[in-house]
Structure 1
């Protein structure tokens, strides 16, 4: 493997800090563990556990029909018993605080989706961290950024939701004497970076079956990038069935065992 010159002591300390930050994020109020339910709305009103009213997806927005004595703490509530919530933009979300819970509205594909968050969810209290391979600097390799936009459909772990995206390019790198190429996706909210979604020969054995992800910083000049598989991390769907994670683009499968980064969460190993 081609590896950058690194200080092993600093590398290990940085990696440990990263692991601590990752575990905090998973269990944080806006992480995945507080999510306790997910509902895909249709035109037929339904009751959602622990929420007021009956919820449905209508042409005018997400509609909540409240019974007498029920309330929803939003500006749109006018006391009439019928609340019409503006749906988020595609791929976006909106959060509503409601009596100790957080209601999260998500627009996924053609679906209005409601997720309920509870900071006191049992999964938060039971979380004991994510297992990971011991960090080996040999899995931190120098790669090459290959720019070039291409449109693609990104499937998700839900067979009801997919989205259109534009790949800004690909990353090429060498592992075990072989050259691989992974199509990159935009890293939303992280300027100057892309993400690599991939599977490998450990997927479904020691790592989560659907995918893992890498964050890669784009070069300020030239085409050299660092691909650090010791920081391959799980998407939220690795921890919960209430996630809407993207799947890797076709071809983003490595036929070698990448024994680096996060492993299958304990929650999925039972």
Structure 2
């Protein structure tokens, strides 16, 4: 998982917003409520996290560097920035090579003048592109390393994902806005484990649905009411939460936000810090395939914490 309109996608977003948001006044009234006082160390810790968040987005191959997502429809495509290519890149060599797919596998035959590299070594022969779901995706670099292309697999359908260090979304990245850090939004939750192997259907921004491992749910209280979120697998035994709330579309991104937690402890306790809720990559680029919140994760609660909606320059 990543650490989103028109057509079918627009329908997905419209349904999501209708289901999970209240009127603009709901979020505003909650935001005006008195916040818990925050000590300087807590505020400084959040400022450091926000600085790291921005630095990650500004990496030459970070999410803001995406310049293309090209679905592979034919057995063979020419790839490059020239007008005669079947897959035309926004940046890069005029002729990068020929893409071939057969039996669920994909290869790239480099053009002699493209100067491609894989693992810093010149790539001159036919290359098999291993997809992101393999755990060891093949990264092909071009433009002296400023550009990268790789293969993504979404339910068996494959696409070329293209990044470039000179992407306008990266070089022109605007400010990230947040609600004030508030310790009241650091909640102690209880992890409720599901039977091993349980999955939950997750739809992404491209309207494709796939089962994802669903190890359990977290239950917590806020403002005297109880809430529950289904969890996906995170990192190092932790949890990944994809949720929407009553600020979605009214202060925060309409299609929801993401949040990682550490692994639950031996008693099933897990700290959920909504101050660390952040926007999915699709806020910054049109070329990501972000998972959307499942119906179970549309909170009847205004989470006035974490990252607000990003306004593209």
Quick check: which one's strand share is greater? 1
Q: C-alpha distance in 2, partners of 1:67/1:13?
A: 51
Higher relative contact order (CA 8 A, sep 6+): 2
Q: Distance in 1 between matches of 2:164 and 2:52?
A: 21
Question: SS in structure 1 opposite 2:289?
Answer: coil
CA contact (8 A) 1:145 1:218 kept: no
Describe how 1:191-230 pairs up with structure 2 within 5 A: 191-230=236-275
State the aligned residue count.
258
Runs of 4+ in 1 over 4 A off after TM superposition: 65-72, 74-79
Q: In the alignment, which residue of structure 1 is the partner of 2:209? A: 162
Look up the match of 1:28. Answer: 59
For each residue in 1:195-218, what CA deviation from the matched residue of structure 2 results, as whole angstroms up to 9, or x when unmatched? Answer: 111000111121111121111222
Q: Deviations over 1:102-121 (max 9, x none)?
A: 11221222122112111122
Q: Which secondary structure state, in structure 1, belongs to the residue aligned with residue 295 of structure 2? A: coil
Report the Cα distance in structure 1 between the residues aligned to 2:263 and 2:110, rounded to whole angstroms: 49
Cα 1:78–1:91 shift into 2, 3 Å: closer
Distance in 2 of aligned mates of 1:209 and 1:222: 35
For 1:155 and 1:29, the matched residues in 2 are separated by 28
**Structure 2 counterpart SS, 1:105:** strand
Q: Following TM superposition, by how much is the alpha carbon of 1:6 offset from its aligned partner in structure 2, in angstroms?
A: 10
Q: Which residue of 1 aligns with 2:105?
A: 61
Matched, 1:259 2:292: no
TM-score by length of 2: 0.75
Answer with 128-137 or 62-71: which moved more.
62-71
Task: Work out whether residues 199 and 253 of structure 1, in 8 Å CA contact, stay in contact via their aligned partners in 2.
Answer: yes
1:164 aligned counterpart, secondary structure: strand
Distance across 2 between alignment mates of 1:91 and 1:69: 29
Report the 3-state secondary structure (helix = DSSP H, G, I; strand = E; otherwise coil) of the residue aligned with 1:227.
Answer: strand
Mapped partners of 1:60, 1:198: distance in 2: 33
The residue aligned with 2:194 is: 148
- Within 1, Cα distance between the matches of 2:106 and 2:172? 33
Please say if residues 38 and 181 of structure 2, whose CA atoms lie closer than 8 Å, have aligned partners that are also in contact: no
Q: Per-residue displacement from partner, 1:69-100 (whole Å, max 9, x unpaired)?
A: 55644589665xxx352432636533111123
The two structures have a TM-score, normalised by structure 1, of 0.85
**In the alignment, which residue of structure 2 is the partner of 1:48?**
88
- Equivalent runs, 1:67-216 vs 2, <5 Å: 69-70=113-114, 72-74=116-118, 83-88=126-131, 90=133, 92=135, 93-99=137-143, 100-149=146-195, 150-159=198-207, 161-187=208-234, 190-216=235-261
CA distance in 2: counterparts of 1:29 and 1:157, whole angstroms: 24
Greater helix share, structure number = 2
Alpha-carbon distance in 1 for matches of 2:46, 2:129 = 42
Distance change in 2, residues 1:65/1:96 (3 Å): closer
Gaps of 5+ in 1: none
Q: Given that residues 186 and 271 in structure 2 are in contact (C-alpha distance below 8 angstroms), is that contact kept between their aligned partners in structure 1? A: yes
Q: Secondary structure at the match of 1:90?
A: helix
Task: From the superposition, tell whether residues 60 and 228 of structure 1 become closer, same or farther in structure 2 (CA, over 3 Å).
Answer: closer
Cα offset, 1:183, TM superposition = 0.4
Contact 2:191/2:216 (CA < 8 Å) preserved in 1? yes
